[in-house]
Structure 1
Amino acid sequence: MGLKLFFSRSFLLNRHFLWLLFIVNLLGTIYGYIWYDDQLYWTAVHKPDWMIPFVPDSPTSSLFFTASLLYLLYPMQKPSKAALGARVIIEALAVVCSVKYGIWAVAMIVWGAAQGDVLNWQHYMLMASHLAMAVEVLLYLRFMKAGTGALAIGLAWLLLNDTMDYTQDIYPWLPEELEDDLVSVRTFTYALSVASFIAPLILLRFRKHE
């Protein structure tokens, strides 16, 4: 069977593997919020409190996916419309946000390095973990309930977040080498939000209802 085993339903939905994935993502989420500690503090001091949720993009993305794993670990029996609606929205946010910020973080690190930023082990760790964010949600999309409408809500959240970031100056702190490229970074960020909506839409066409 080879590599196909690692993409199979039996492997991806194995409870031991799901628990491992849950723990890894939960720890990564906690680390991510700690990583944003300085920017969260700066925002709390200089901006209205209601802007704080727009700051920690990557850890909030992984938080959505971590919550989505609980739906696979503990399938809901005869859920109410409200409970099902909550699941669909959380899963959609997990998908579009993880794809977007997983790729965005890697792109910013590589872009900064191309302009002279010196990379260390943390940069490589961040690139590996963020790329994994994007890959894992796309692998698990076929087991989720989120559809086109929910993904559209996810896109709306991304575009709102982008607008807040680049009109209120609460975007994730960039390498110094990219500060003079802010217009290009902003354009790339908006485009990536749209791409992060389109990519799962394409995959949904091939999703098997299992």
Structure 2
Amino acid sequence: MTILFQILNKRWFLYLVLLLNAFGTIYGYIWYGEQLSDTPAIFLIFVPDSPTASLFFALVVIAFLLKKNWPLIEALAIVTLIKYGIWAVVMNILVLVVTGEISGVAIMLITSHAAMALQGMLYSPFYRIKAWHLIVVAIWTIHNDIIDYLFKMMPRYHMLDQYTISIGYFTFWLSIVSIFVAYLLCIKKERFNSKLTQ
């Protein structure tokens, strides 16, 4: 375990993680391009869920490279990485179940989003999140769910339209679980803690 965290803390590895997240963020915003083009301006910030999560984490990594912690951004990153990482994996598997088909893009999305959730948790010992940071992020996260499923701003998977209500219910509880996992990993007194040494 010590070796793993030593690698995670190496500058060359942090630069690699930053590069991968920058690429994923750019690709994600492009993926949302069509939906963003007809989204009302007031909702634009709430639509591109996964690329915004990876953007938060890219900012966390930049802070690490500067030997700093930006705890509010860390809280936004871990909750959204876990939530949208798992969400996208489940949705793409659900598409497979419903249609009986899976594309190369879907496999890439499953793999990359699983990695998103994993990286958010792996770097948690380096975060310096306080309770108020997580409370702010919890409000943001639940509010985002309301915008998505009350105002129909959720990511578009047209083949799953008939399951929108069930997906919305699942997403709400996924938010709660993600916030709770962030609490366990980042705030609970018995959590595993590590320092940036690069």
TM-score in terms of structure 1 length = 0.87
**Deviation at residue 174 of structure 1 after TM alignment:** 1.5
> What residue number does 1:74 align with?
66
- Greater relative CO (CA pairs within 8 A, separation 6+): 2
> What residue number does 1:38 align with?
34
**Partner amino acid, structure 1, of 2:177:** A
> What residue number does 2:184 align with?
202
> What residue number does 2:95 align with?
112
**Residues 26-76 of structure 1: CA deviation (Å, up to 9, x unaligned):** 011000000000000121xxx2x1211111000000000000001110024
| Alignment match of 2:163 (pick from 172, 181, 196) | 181
Distance, in Å, in 2 between the alignment partners of 1:175 and 1:122 is 16
Check 1:117–1:153 CA distance in 2 against 1; reply closer, same or farther (3 A cut). farther
Matches within 5 A, 1:95-174: 95-174=78-157
Residue-pair matches, total = 192
**Residues 2-47 of structure 1: CA deviation (Å, up to 9, x unaligned):** xx36522x2111000000110110011000000000000121xxx2
**Deviation at residue 147 of structure 1 after TM alignment:** 2.5
Distance, in Å, in 2 between the alignment partners of 1:175 and 1:123 is 14
| Alignment match of 2:44 (pick from 39, 47, 52) | 52
Percent sequence identity is: 36
**Deviation at residue 146 of structure 1 after TM alignment:** 1.4
Check 1:42–1:102 CA distance in 2 against 1; reply closer, same or farther (3 A cut). same
Check 1:6–1:59 CA distance in 2 against 1; reply closer, same or farther (3 A cut). farther
Distance, in Å, in 1 between the alignment partners of 2:194 and 2:26 is 33
Matched, 1:16 2:2: no
Structure 1: where are the runs of 5+ without partners? 77-83
Structure 2: where are the runs of 5+ without partners? none
**Deviation at residue 89 of structure 1 after TM alignment:** 1.1
Secondary structure (helix, strand or coil) at the match of 2:123 reads: helix
**Higher Rg:** 1
Q: CA RMSD in A?
A: 1.4
TM-score in terms of structure 2 length = 0.92
Check 1:118–1:42 CA distance in 2 against 1; reply closer, same or farther (3 A cut). farther
Could you tell me whether the CA contact under 8 Å between 1:12 and 1:18 is conserved in 2?
yes
> What residue number does 1:79 align with?
none
